[in-house]
Amino acid sequence: MDLLTGRYLIVIQEIPVEVMSMIFAMLDTEYCAVAALVCRLWSGVALDELWRSPPSLLPLFEILGPLIDTENGKDLRSDVVLTARSWALFKSYAARVRRLNYEDNESYPFMSTGLILRALAVHPEGGILPNLRAAYWRVNELGLNHTLAFCPPTLERMSLQVTSEYASVESVERLLSCLSSSLQNRLKFFEFGTTFQPTQDATLSTALKTFLKNQCGLLGLKLPFYPIQEHAAIFETCHAAPQLRTFCGEVLDFTKEMLREAFSELARKGASLRCIGLSRSGAGFGEETIRLADVEPLLQLSAIEDIRLWFECNLELEVRDIQQMGQAWKGLTSLFLYSSEGQGIPIARLVAFAEWFPALQRFAADFDCSKYIPTAYEVPCRFKRLRRLILLGVWIADDATSRIAEFLAMVCGPNVNVAVGLYGLDSFEIFDEEWDWMIGDYAHEVGGIRERMDAFYRAQEGIQRMY
């Protein structure tokens, strides 16, 4: 206590390490590096943050000495002598890495297999990165050989994307087989995809199923670039991981009957599911129409919070369908409905969504703004918790802009961020965590919708003050 002011003073040494970690996590890399030079206490915490997620493996291996380019990738110069002190320093920084991003491309520094084997020799038990929690791999044949060296027992989240330019199906099968034993029942989240042809992906089915069966504690599974070609695969996945909370994938050439069966499998075995993302693609579906009856089994998932559906056909929802969905999914907070064909959901049905989805916070769908637009007097309710609304594939005529802006202002309220997307989205984008409802280049300001909505709110406020 300060005797002059009577206030308690806290010195730096008394700040808990956990609090300091939270503070340093919000700093830019440059300022975090400066903080590491302040004192020994700050240095340890700041270095942990700096090395938590390095941009590549290059800074780590440069600790051992200068690296040169060889035919097999980055390697140490032949005159570099590695001592016990060099390896101890390397291990001290390697232990700080919690997240790894690894890509096989011209811009990413590729480590030679020989160098990785030398590093692995001094990490016989926990792997080169013994405290790694998440690994994101974008690899070809050479990168596949390195994956196992960075899969310690602590690994909980893994994303594996394989490019077919150099990799073979057999090599991916061998990798999945090895991962099945080395990571048995350890992963919480897994993402998998390839750029193989569908016929080649089908041959990976057995290896992938075996891998997933050995991950009974899985909470999240995403297959954005691995088309599912049989609904039984969905059943086996849900059965193997009874605690699964997130399932996202693409189904290929599923008829409407097969699609309904797939949804039935999710409903029967996915009682723990909180997030579902499913895209349906294939030839000859453009003239079809998906209705509520085709996805009705999903209504059994009463605890669902996030639904993302992407169809290469028309999607048709009546007001009574929206009512049924809202009554079934009372806790739904995020809804994405995209159809690449057809005109979209009539914009007037936003009123039904507002009435029957009280918990909805984020909503994106294809809307048709060419049909009847309700007036302000015909909007009996508005969204209660909505914060983000994205109108996908929307074209708005100039003479309808004011009416649509007034309608959106009434049904959404002033706290809703409204965006208009002139173009559609690829199916894999809705499964990407980085998408995060911002839609980037797809978002356009059409006819000053946002400005007109704001003007409407200001006019309402002025009228209320008058009375």
pLDDT, tens digit, for every residue of 372-429? 888 878 888 889 999 988 888 777 777 778 888 888 888 988 888 888 765 556 666 6
pLDDT, tens digit, for every residue of 63-121? 988 888 888 788 888 888 888 888 999 999 999 999 998 876 656 667 888 888 888 88
Q: What size, in residues, is the chain? A: 467
Q: 186 is written with which tokens?
A: 């350890």
The model's confidence at residue 353, banded by pLDDT at 50, 70 and 90, is: very high
Q: 214 is written with which tokens?
A: 């050995």
Which of 329, 328, 333, 322 is closest to 355 using CA atoms? 322
The model's confidence at residue 440, banded by pLDDT at 50, 70 and 90, is: very low
For residue 30, report the phi and psi dihedrals to the nearest 5 degrees. -60, -45
Which of 338, 251, 336, 260 is closest to 299 using CA atoms? 260
Please list, in sequence order, all residues whose beta carbon lies within 8 angstroms of the beta carbon of residue 283, skipping any fewer than 6 positions away: 253
Which of 124, 135, 127, 133 is closest to 152 using CA atoms? 127
Q: What is the three-class DSSP state of 457?
A: helix
pLDDT value, residue 44: 86
Give the H or E element holding residue 198.
Answer: helix 198-203
Q: What does the alpha-carbon distance between residue 72 and residue 117 come to, in Å, rounded to a whole number?
A: 13
Q: Is 251:259 a contact under the CB 8 Å cutoff?
A: yes
Task: Quickly list DSSP for 67-99.
Answer: EEEETTEEEE-TT----HHHHHHHHHHHTT--E
pLDDT, tens digit, for every residue of 12-35? 667 777 888 888 888 888 888 888
Alpha-carbon distances of 80 from 65, 66, 88, 117, 381, rounded to whole Å: 7, 8, 16, 16, 73
Q: Output DSSP code: residue 377.
A: G
pLDDT value, residue 228: 80
Q: Which long-range contacts (CB under 8 A, 24 or more apart) does 114-119 make?
A: 114/72, 114/75, 115/61, 115/73, 115/74, 115/75, 115/76, 116/146, 116/149, 117/149, 118/82, 119/61, 119/90, 119/149
Q: Which long-range contacts (CB under 8 A, 24 or more apart) does 292-296 make?
A: 292/317, 292/318, 292/321, 292/324, 292/325, 294/256, 294/259, 294/260, 295/259, 295/260, 295/263, 296/260, 296/263
Q: What does the alpha-carbon distance between residue 43 and residue 253 come to, in Å, rounded to a whole number?
A: 56
CB neighbour burial string for 204-217, b if at least 16 within 10 angstroms, e if fewer: bbebbbbbbebbee
Looking at the DSSP bridge assignments, the partners of residue 338 are 310
For the purposes of burial, counting CB atoms within 10 Å of the CB of 310, is it exposed (0-12), middle (13-18) or buried (19 or more)?
buried
Q: Output DSSP code: residue 111.
A: B
pLDDT, tens digit, for every residue of 330-347? 999 999 998 877 778 898
CA 182 from centroid of its chain's CA atoms = 25
Please list, in sequence order, all residues whose beta carbon lies within 8 angstroms of the beta carbon of residue 30, skipping any fewer than 6 positions away: none
